A and B are shown apart, each in its own frame.
Chain A
Amino acid sequence: MIVYQCEDSLESIFTAIYNAYEEKRDHDDTIISLNQEWLLFAQYVPVIPMEEKVLKVIRTLKRRFGEEDYMTICYALASPSEDKAQAVYGTVVEGLRGKYAKGHLFDNLVNDDIHKVFSLSRGAGNESHHLLGFVRFQELENGVLFSRIGPKNNVLTFMMPHFADRFSGENFMIYDEGRGIFGIHPAGKAWYLLQGADILKEAVDENPGGWELSAKEKEYQELFCHFCHTIAIKERYNTKLQRNMVPLRFQEYMIEFVNY
């Protein structure tokens, strides 16, 4: 039994898959693991992510499974679950065995690994879609739009293209608090991610001492909160339904709930 030990990143897991195929392992007897548990009678192989290997794997997956199924795998890898690496490995092995047409890999939900990847991907995809609506920007003094999010899945990468397309002429920044990643978009230019920027993180945590909101910002926040409260029909009050639709973990970042 061989166990590949990866860190929690897409590059690392794809490198592990590449290694498993390159070293011609018996796929039923190989595990890709993220955690540090030690099994008896297993041989542990550490994995060092390498760019060319990752690119080759991506090309193969896109060619064999099609764009959509490849994106499903990427969404699954954005989830926080510990089993994602093994589930994705199992799915890739099953898919490369050759019985599936492009775009139909996730038809066979009877297979456990495929079902697991499908459900992780669905969870991450749903959270990403919810966040497209729940992200709230604040205008800072220098005109930059700043937003904080705290998602369970690592979905910042999937959200940025949407906002870059929508607000192509604006400077904006989205901060994933749990992971310390910044998504940055300068006006009229391409967006990028910034990770491990401790100086920026400190400045954000000291807010409002770090960054001031612009003058009009307070006014628009109040207008919007008032709009949300006025639009409710009193005879149909149903806070339970409201909480079902907007779970509490999103509400703490949304201005109309914070000031309720």
Chain B
Amino acid sequence: MEYLATGQEMSLMEKLEILTDAAKYDVACTSSGVERQGNGRDMGNCIKAGICHSFSSDGRCISLLKILFTNECIYDCKYCLNRRTNDVPRASFTPEEVCTLTMEFYRRNYIEGLFLSSGILKSPTYTMELIYQTIFLLRNKYRFNGYVHVKAIPGADAEIIRQMGFLVDRMSVNLELPTAEGLRNLAPNKHRKNILTPMRQIQNGIHENKNELVVYRNAPRFVQGGQSTQVIIGATPENDFQIINVAESLYRKFELKRVFYSAFVNVNEDKDLPALPGGPPLLREHRLYQADWLLRFYGFKAAELLDEKRPYFNVLLDPKEDWAVRHLEYFPVEINRAPYETLLRIPGVGVKSAKRIVAARRSTCLTFPDLKKIGVVLKRALYFVTCGGRMMYPTKLDEDYIVRNLTSDKDRVKFGSDGMTYKQLSLFDDSKFYLQPLPGDRLQVVSGQM
């Protein structure tokens, strides 16, 4: 195996700096989903809930040693720091270096495992083989039993992906751009087919493995932690509705564990990339994550949250509050009687609170002080619930009134470390964009009174 001469003269510290810097835009960070006890011989175990070992200065969790194997790349994707035509210092690890770093960090409890991605050296299959060599060494010679997350390189040979699956806990392929058109514009070397094929292969592999495990309990596990993917937000002009639809169909068709949304950070001054003078679209990313949670845990569908006429999320209200305010016909909900699925739809009631409410109301009739003990956010929920037929304070079920109270200044979402809040500008001084004209107003317009 040949590595470039310059790679061997660099110190480990320099290599680590270059290859960590190159990997940081891949936001996949979880070490969860796999429960594997230590086996007395190897080092390491995995915890189902995952463990966050540290948090970086941008607030993101550091749970895995997230590095690229090499930042050499033959592709020229416009959004990427490591594109072929960029003049950045290039470096490569040797497999032994990766393994030693992983083991020494792991035994000091700095990390939960390894996250290995790579730029594309020579060809996708060649790069995957290098990665396979590294992970094989890690598992078999260094005897590492912790969490390993590997990126599958789109376009690599199916057999190498299959073999890799037996060594790792999670394998993922990045979708990068939500639509095929976006991908064609910004990453001309990557094709949608090349990205979706390995996803399908991994999905099928996981299914087959589950069947094998039924027959033979000690069969080797294939990608036990499932698949995930990443979508870049803000590099291309797709709206939120398109993105959330893509996410929903990925969950349904490929059975992914997670879709990660990464706010676009402008590192290359390319003419095809947006300038983004306000910085990366962090609020938009936040709303997408909130919507993602609603899809996965709260039983919502993408069509309920957004549609063609309203393709962007509300800046002032989170998606759940926004849905509730637009569908006041479902409220108020009686806490002591409503089914679990309805409880989940109340703003201020999360999955844990809903479960606790269902458990607690078997023994007593719940009142508002009880709801507070259970952990319901009454500040938001009080407009939508009744306890024993009574609301907490007399409230009109009126959209304007509720929205005004939910978005009062002290409750507004503070985004960014300078405390600045995002507010869309409007010619009207009440900036309520989502209000549909009332039926009475429509009549008045037609009859000429307005």
Query: Which of A's residues lie within 8 Å of B, judged by CB?
Result: 99, 104, 107-110, 115, 129, 132-139, 145, 147, 162-163, 165-170, 216, 220, 222-224, 226-242, 244-246, 254, 256
Question: Quick one: closest A residue to B360, CB to CB?
Answer: A109
B101-109, B400-408, B427-435 - interface stretch: B101-109
Cβ contact within 8 Å between A145 and B108: yes
Cβ contact within 8 Å between B359 and A228: no
Main secondary structure of the interface of B (DSSP, over half): loop
B200-208, B311-319, B362-370 - interface stretch: B362-370
Cβ contact within 8 Å between B54 and A133: yes
Question: Quick one: closest A residue to B17, CB to CB?
Answer: A230
How many Å lie between the Cα of A170 and that of B38 in the bound state?
A: 13
* CB-defined contacts of A254 to chain B, threshold 8 Å: 54
How many Å lie between the Cα of A256 and that of B107 in the bound state?
A: 16
Residue B21 at the A interface, CB < 8 A? yes
Cβ contact within 8 Å between A232 and B56: yes
Select B417's contact among A137, A231, A240, beta carbons within 8 Å: A240
Question: Quick one: closest B residue to A107, CB to CB?
Answer: B359
For window 22-39 of B, CB contacts with A under 8 Å fall at 23-25, 37-38
In whole Å, how far is B76's beta carbon from the nearest beta carbon of chain A? 22
Supposing A169-B43, A241-B417 touch, asked if A226 and B17 sit within 8 A by C-beta, the answer is yes
Supposing A109-B360, A133-B54, A240-B417 touch, asked if A166 and B104 sit within 8 A by C-beta, the answer is no
Cβ contact within 8 Å between B62 and A231: yes
Cβ contact within 8 Å between A109 and B58: no
* CB-defined contacts of A138 to chain B, threshold 8 Å: 108
Residue B295 at the A interface, CB < 8 A? no
In whole Å, how far is A144's beta carbon from the nearest beta carbon of chain B? 12
* CB-defined contacts of B448 to chain A, threshold 8 Å: none
How many Å lie between the Cα of A220 and that of B364 in the bound state?
A: 56
Cβ contact within 8 Å between B360 and A256: no
Supposing A166-B45, A232-B57, A242-B57 touch, asked if A224 and B110 sit within 8 A by C-beta, the answer is yes
Residue B282 at the A interface, CB < 8 A? yes
In whole Å, how far is A223's beta carbon from the nearest beta carbon of chain B? 6
For window 343-369 of B, CB contacts with A under 8 Å fall at 356, 359-360, 362-364, 366
* CB-defined contacts of B41 to chain A, threshold 8 Å: 169
Cβ contact within 8 Å between A223 and B56: no
Q: A133-B109, A231-B56, A236-B282 are in contact. List 16 more A-B contacts (CB 8 A).
A: A109-B373, A135-B109, A137-B107, A165-B37, A167-B107, A170-B107, A224-B110, A229-B57, A231-B24, A232-B58, A236-B58, A236-B59, A237-B58, A237-B417, A242-B56, A242-B59
Cβ contact within 8 Å between A139 and B108: yes
Query: Which of B's residues lie within 8 Å of A, judged by CB?
Result: 12-13, 16-17, 20-21, 23-25, 37-38, 40-41, 43-45, 47, 49, 51-63, 65-66, 101, 104-105, 107-110, 112, 146, 263, 265, 279-280, 282, 356, 359-360, 362-364, 366, 370, 373-374, 416-417
Supposing A133-B52, A245-B55 touch, asked if A226 and B16 sit within 8 A by C-beta, the answer is yes
How many Å lie between the Cα of A236 and that of B374 in the bound state?
A: 34
* CB-defined contacts of A230 to chain B, threshold 8 Å: 16-17, 20-21, 24
* CB-defined contacts of A231 to chain B, threshold 8 Å: 20-21, 23-24, 56, 62, 66
* CB-defined contacts of A245 to chain B, threshold 8 Å: 52, 55, 59, 61
* CB-defined contacts of B66 to chain A, threshold 8 Å: 231
How many Å lie between the Cα of A230 and that of B18 in the bound state?
A: 9
Some 5 contacts from A to B, beta carbons below 8 A apart, are A229-B56, A229-B57, A233-B25, A235-B280, A244-B59
* CB-defined contacts of B53 to chain A, threshold 8 Å: 133-134
Which of B38, B108, B356 has the most chain A CB atoms inside 10 A of its CB? B108
* CB-defined contacts of B59 to chain A, threshold 8 Å: 236, 238, 241-242, 244-245
How many Å lie between the Cα of A256 and that of B16 in the bound state?
A: 16
Cβ contact within 8 Å between A256 and B54: yes
Cβ contact within 8 Å between A233 and B373: no
How many Å lie between the Cα of A145 and that of B47 in the bound state?
A: 21
In whole Å, how far is B261's beta carbon from the nearest beta carbon of chain A? 13
Supposing A99-B363, A138-B108, A224-B110 touch, asked if A235 and B62 sit within 8 A by C-beta, the answer is no
In whole Å, how far is A258's beta carbon from the nearest beta carbon of chain B? 12
How many Å lie between the Cα of A165 and that of B366 in the bound state?
A: 43
Select A233's contact among B17, B37, B58, B107, beta carbons within 8 Å: B58
Cβ contact within 8 Å between B279 and A235: yes
Cβ contact within 8 Å between B62 and A166: no
Cβ contact within 8 Å between A224 and B105: yes
Cβ contact within 8 Å between B370 and A109: yes
Cβ contact within 8 Å between A109 and B417: no
Supposing A137-B107, A147-B109, A246-B55 touch, asked if A104 and B359 sit within 8 A by C-beta, the answer is yes
Question: Quick one: closest B residue to A257, CB to CB?
Answer: B54
In whole Å, how far is B274's beta carbon from the nearest beta carbon of chain A? 14
How many Å lie between the Cα of A165 and that of B363 in the bound state?
A: 40
Select A166's contact among B20, B44, B58, beta carbons within 8 Å: B44
How many Å lie between the Cα of A254 and that of B52 in the bound state?
A: 13
Question: Quick one: closest B residue to A240, CB to CB?
Answer: B417
How many Å lie between the Cα of A139 and that of B43 in the bound state?
A: 16
Question: Quick one: closest A residue to B362, CB to CB?
Answer: A107
* CB-defined contacts of A246 to chain B, threshold 8 Å: 54-55
* CB-defined contacts of A137 to chain B, threshold 8 Å: 107-109
Cβ contact within 8 Å between B364 and A233: no
In whole Å, how far is A154's beta carbon from the nearest beta carbon of chain B? 20
* CB-defined contacts of B105 to chain A, threshold 8 Å: 220, 223-224
Which of B37, B265, B417 has the most chain A CB atoms inside 10 A of its CB? B417
In whole Å, how far is B226's beta carbon from the nearest beta carbon of chain A? 22
How many Å lie between the Cα of A224 and that of B64 in the bound state?
A: 12
* CB-defined contacts of A244 to chain B, threshold 8 Å: 59
Nearest 5 Cβ contacts at the A-B interface: A241-B59, A107-B359, A236-B58, A232-B56, A165-B38
